[in-house]
Amino acid sequence: MALWAGRFSKEIDAGVNAFNSSIAFDARMYRQDIQGSIAHATMLGDCGIITKEDSQTLIAGLQEILADIDSGKLAFDPNAEDIHMFVEAELTKRLGDVGKRLHTSRSRNDQVALDLRLYLRDEIAEIRVLTENLCKVLVRLAEQHTETVLPGYTHLQRAQPVTFAHHLLAYVQMFLRDLGRLDDTAKRMNECPLGSGALAGTTYHIDRQQTAKLLGFDAPMANSLDGVSDRDYCIELANTLSILMMHMSRFSEEIILWCSWEFKFIELDDAFATGSSIMPQKKNPDITELIRGKTARVYGDLQTLLTMMKGLPLAYNKDMQEDKEAIFDAVDNVKLCLETFTPMLETMRVNRENMRAAAAKGFINATDCADYLVKKGMPFRDAYKISGTLVAQCIAKGLTLETLPLEEYQKMTPLFTEDVYEAISLETCVKGRVSEGGPSPAAVAKQLVLAKAKLGME
């Protein structure tokens, strides 16, 4: 018999019960559900809404249920409507009438809003640690590669020289902003909906400050209708996670390219790659492809939540039960990706020689060649044209700017002298890019200091 059976003359249809039930996916919030109920029972006792004795009995009963679920002694009833009904029914089974007092001045509407906030708060803390670990691994890797020259690309065409450290630190900056977004999300989420009741608060003189405090919230939510209606915290988290996935996905795309024979900038550790069932030579970067694929899935979760909420009148509507599978899917997949991506990066082999060889081709010092003339007094546009003409000559002759004879340079302008070779060497081109945030080892050293400070490293 359902806990709400009073108004009904029939048992619920079995198919409808299964359709309606959320225990299959909300059981994972049992800890938070019990934690919330313990705070509620404590407050009811302190406010004299139930006796102290009943309050203590309820708390002890809830603690026992928690221990029994944790130890596997108590299994979830798949026919229960949701985790909230399951815990309450179990409590009443164990305590009799006292158990029936727990739900005084509370609704499942504020209860579910509370449980989800508590649950996601814990998940954000875990994702935060995983993202921080990823940043730390990237920083450590960057420290080893401040002199490793790599072609920087635009339009996937070799553009200007950077270093591998500089490239990695670009991702560190993105992930650091993701950490900031996680913190913002957690901060805004940290208000307590408990005490909103079904939608219109309660006539009991409850103490919402107390429950908010007991549960580690900054404050109770200011409006009871909002307290039970809003799911913007799920949407905000799904958005934060989508951006995090987008960053991981772009990085994954680069890893996929870098693993190819065409690039061969890196090689994944055998433990982090897969083979083909038919082609014996294959070593596939499946992890990174899955991260790219799962990014689509997390975006889908965000879309689900946005679309699910867009037409709902205040206050609670059952549509909102769909929030959980979407946000849990996003959270689970982000965690899986971070847990796999980080050790994959930590163990991959970096092929400095191939990075350098790629940097030596593709005329990525053509801008520096123009800048050489600018430093000797020529306007940049004229210098740009000469450098471009020289590149075209090199392509026609199968040469590079480094191997083009000085006479050819001097035919363009006598401003070219022997020192041009030094000016356009890859080392000079990288070391010279000293602007703040640039790739020179000196500028990267400063970026490393800042990133490490933010991550509390060393």
Q: Which residues bind ligand ARG (CB under 6 A)?
A: 22, 26, 82, 108-109, 112, 316, 318, 320-321
**Active site annotation includes 166:** no
**Looking at beta carbons only, is 173 or 321 nearer to ligand ARG?**
321
Of 436, 450, 441, nearest in space to 163 by CA: 441
SS3 at position 151: strand
Sign of the Cα pseudo-torsion (372, 377, 383, 387, in order): negative
CA 310 to chain centroid, in Å, comes to: 24
SS3 at position 320: helix
Strands 349-350 and 266-267: antiparallel
Residues 6+ apart with CB under 8 A from 92: 99, 100
Taking CB atoms within 8 Å and a gap of at least 24, the contacts of 390-395 are 390/366, 391/363, 391/366, 394/363
Nearest approach, Cβ of 12 to ligand ARG (angstroms)?
Answer: 13
Nearest approach, Cβ of 25 to ligand ARG (angstroms)?
Answer: 9
Nearest approach, Cβ of 196 to ligand ARG (angstroms)?
Answer: 12
**What CA–CA distance (Å, rounded) separates 389 from 400?**
13
Nearest approach, Cβ of 237 to ligand ARG (angstroms)?
Answer: 17
Of 87, 115, 88, 101, nearest in space to 204 by CA: 101
SS3 at position 159: strand
Q: Dihedral of the CA atoms 231, 235, 241, 242 (nearest 10)?
A: 160
Catalytic residue among 155, 205, 277, 435: 155
**What CA–CA distance (Å, rounded) separates 147 from 427?**
9
Enter the tokens of residue 195. 């005490």
**Looking at beta carbons only, is 24 or 453 nearer to ligand ARG?**
24
Nearest approach, Cβ of 22 to ligand ARG (angstroms)?
Answer: 4
Nearest approach, Cβ of 326 to ligand ARG (angstroms)?
Answer: 12
**Active site annotation includes 155:** yes
Nearest approach, Cβ of 107 to ligand ARG (angstroms)?
Answer: 7
Nearest approach, Cβ of 80 to ligand ARG (angstroms)?
Answer: 10
**Looking at beta carbons only, is 330 or 338 nearer to ligand ARG?**
330
Instruction: Please report which helix (H) or strand (E) contains residue 376, including its range.
Output: none
Catalytic residue among 40, 84, 242, 276: 276
**What CA–CA distance (Å, rounded) separates 12 from 43?**
34
**Looking at beta carbons only, is 243 or 312 nearer to ligand ARG?**
312
Residue listed under structure tokens 């158990």: 99
List the Cα angle 6/9/12 in 5-degree steps: 90
**What CA–CA distance (Å, rounded) separates 149 from 144?**
12
**Looking at beta carbons only, is 104 or 321 nearer to ligand ARG?**
321
SS3 at position 154: strand
**Looking at beta carbons only, is 234 or 443 nearer to ligand ARG?**
234
CA distances, 53 to each of 12, 57, 97, 98, 263 (Å): 35, 6, 13, 10, 72
Catalytic positions are 155, 276
